[in-house]
Amino acid sequence: MEKGTVIIGIDPDIQESGVGAVFDDKKFLAYKMNFPALIDYLKAMNESCKIKVVIEGGWLNKSNWHVLNKFMTAVKAAAIGRSTGMNHQTGILIVECCKHYNIPCEIIKPLKKCWKGKDGKITQDEIAYFVSAGQKLPRMNQDQRDALLLAWVCAGYPVRVMPKKPQTTLQKTIRAFDG
């Protein structure tokens, strides 16, 4: 990351997008903002300091039907498709607004989901482990954590995975019998 540049990660959502700002001293902020407030924030930040906006482009993935199964109805599939499309459109509009206001931006393919949370999403404890050396963070929703992770990675800062807790002898024995 270039000195003095603030990296702003955005996880677009139709209600409130997750926004994570990472500064060159590894300080960070995480917000959730509706669309008009987000555009106002980006304009104000662009006027006051050097920024780079990175937007999670879910529309770059070929598909996102990780919940599709034999129990899903056509109505449920249509609702998920509609919601996904609206989120994608929100991201596309954020990119258009950035270009209109000459705000440097980049669309990033969603990061691999390899975390301990549901569906491989990052948990509160995992993000706290590498952005604040394990200190307790204010509660963040999933969009805020995703946006902060995106900004952190794009800033070039290291992402450390939490070490696994050592297993007791009893846990090892049970695991051995379970195969």
Is 19:8 a contact under the CB 8 Å cutoff? yes
Instruction: Identify the CA nearest to 114 among candidates 158, 162, 76.
Output: 162
Q: Which domain holds residue 126?
A: 5-178
Tokens 């529309």 appear where? 59
User: Number of structural domains, the chain?
Assistant: 1
pLDDT for 158 equals 78
Helices 124-131 and 142-154 cross at an angle (nearest 10°) of 30
Q: The domain spanning residue 25 has which CATH number?
A: 3.30.420
pLDDT for 135 equals 73
pLDDT (tens, 9 = 90+) of the chain, 179 residues, equals 677 899 999 999 999 999 999 998 888 999 999 999 999 999 999 999 999 999 998 878 776 555 556 677 777 777 777 777 778 889 999 999 999 999 999 999 888 888 888 888 888 888 888 788 767 788 999 999 999 999 999 988 877 766 666 667 777 777 777 75
